[in-house]
Amino acid sequence: MSDTYCSTCYEELEEAFNKYGIILTDDDYECISCNTGIEVGDMYYCIDFSEVVLAVDELAEVLSQYIDACFNCKGREIDDYYYAWNKDADSEEYQEKSVGTSIEDFLFNHDIPELIHNELTKQLQCQHCHYGKDPMHPKHNPDGGIFELYDEVYTQKEIDDFWGFDYEEFSEFAARYGITLGKMDFSDFKEYISKNPLLAFKHPVGQNIYDVLKNHFEAEDYIVLKKGNILYRGRSRKIDAEMFMDKQMWSPPRGVASHGRYNLIGTSVLYCSDKVKCIPLEIHPGHDEAVDIGIFETKNDLKLLNIDFFENFGGFFSEKDEDTKTLKEVYLLPNFIRDCCYEIGYHGVKYEGVHQEENYTNYAFFNIVAGFDIQVKKVYTLDMKIKYVVEMED
C-alpha cells in the first residue's frame, strides 16, 4: 500500500535521493481511466474508489431531477404518435422526431465527463415513472430497469410543447384578464374532454378558456390583417400531373378534411404564408413533384389571434401537422380553443414559421368566406430546385 506525502515533503525526499543518483519515482504509474503514463513532476490524484461511488450516486440524484419523463412513460406516447402518424403518411405529411435527448447527450449537455458516463447512467432515474437504478425483475420489478446511453429522456417543457399547449404560457395570458388557471385545471379538463369532446363548454375550465379569448377579442387586443395583403398557399403534385386550378387551391371542403391539431374532422382550415420561397419548407415536395402556388389577396380587414405572444404556443397551430387519418385525443384541447375563436369572431390566427432558414409568417384561416374575405388572384408553378444534404457520422 502506497504512502501519501504533501508536495513539500515529497520534494525534500526527492532532492535527497537524487543527490545520490537514486530515482525515487519513474513513469510506471498510469491513470486508471485513460492509461496515460504519469511521469516525474506530473500532477496526479489519489482518490478512494468508495468515495467515487458515493459521489456518482449523489451526482445521479441531482441530475435525475432534470429527467421529467423518459422513453418508458411519456416518451412512449410520443413514439406511438410518430408511428401512427407516419405509417400512412405521404411525403408531405411525414414527420421526423424532434423531441427527446439520449442519456449520452443529456450527460454531455450537463458537462459530465465521458469517463463516468457508464457508471452514472446506471444510477439515473426518471421522476415520472421511476424507471432506472434497479434492474428489471419479472416478479419484483416488471416495469423497472437501468438506463442505457441511447435511451431518451424528456423535460416537462418538451412534453407540453410537443403536444401543442403550454400551460404556463396560457395561464399567464389568462391572468391578464383576471382569470386564474393552473396546470391541474388543464389536466382535469383534458381528461374530461377526452371522454366528452362535445361537452367542453360544460366544464368550468372550458368556460374560463372561452371567457379569456372573448375578453381578449372584446378588448381589441387581436391583430388586424389589412385589406389588400398578398399571401401564398402551395400544393405539391406529381410533375406529370395537371396543374391545380383556382378552386383547388383552397382548403379541403367541409366534410372532407381529416382531424388535425386545429380542426375537427370535416372542419376546413386555409393555411397561407407571406413568402413564396418558404412554401417548399412547409410542404416538403419530393424530387418527382412540382409545387403550384396560389396567390391570395385579402378583400376585407381580418381579425386574428396572434399566437406569437405565446412564446412557446406554436404547437397550437403547427404548420407541420396538417392532416391525420384518425381522431387524436391530443388535439382536443387546441381544437376547443379553435372552436372558441370561431364562435367569438376571430377570422383565424397568425404564427411565425418554424424553419430557421427564413423569416416568415403563416396564417390559419377558419372563419372566412371564400371569394369575399379572401380571393385567389392567380395560380402558377414554382420554379425551384431541390438539394439533398447528406451528413456522415465519423
Task: Give 231-289 as a DSSP string.
Answer: EEEEEEEETTSPPPPGGGGSPPPTTTPPPBTTB-TT---EEEES-GGGHHHHH---TTE
Residues 6+ apart with CB under 8 A from 201: 207, 210
| Residue 287, Cβ density class (10 Å: 0-12 exposed, 13-18 middle, ≥19 buried) | exposed
Angle between helices 204-218 and 183-195 (to 10 degrees): 110
Over residues 163-174, the mean pLDDT reads 75
Q: Supply the pLDDT for residue 320.
A: 42
Q: Supply the pLDDT for residue 182.
A: 80
Report the C-alpha dihedral over residues 237, 241, 246, 252, rounded to 10 degrees: -50
Residue 52 has pLDDT above 50, yes or no: yes
Residue 327 has pLDDT above 90, yes or no: no
Q: Supply the pLDDT for residue 381.
A: 93
What the block records as the C-alpha cell of 301 is 380587414
What the block records as the C-alpha cell of 206 is 372550458
316 within 8 A of 332, measured Cβ to Cβ: no
Over residues 58-77, the mean pLDDT reads 89
If you ran DSSP here, which 8-state letter would residue 134 be given? Answer: B
Sign of CA dihedral 118, 119, 122, 123: negative
Confidence of residue 207 (pLDDT cuts 50, 70, 90): very high
In total, the chain counts a number of residues equal to 394
Q: Supply the pLDDT for residue 5.
A: 62
CA gap 131, 146 in Å, rounded: 7
Residue 162 has pLDDT above 50, yes or no: yes
What the block records as the C-alpha cell of 380 is 402558377
Sequence ranges of the domains in the chain: 49-160, 164-218, 223-381
- More confidently predicted of 369 and 331: 369
24-28, 29-33, 38-42, 176-180: the lowest-pLDDT one = 24-28
376 within 8 A of 250, measured Cβ to Cβ: yes
- More confidently predicted of 258 and 233: 233
- More confidently predicted of 338 and 293: 293
Q: Supply the pLDDT for residue 322.
A: 41
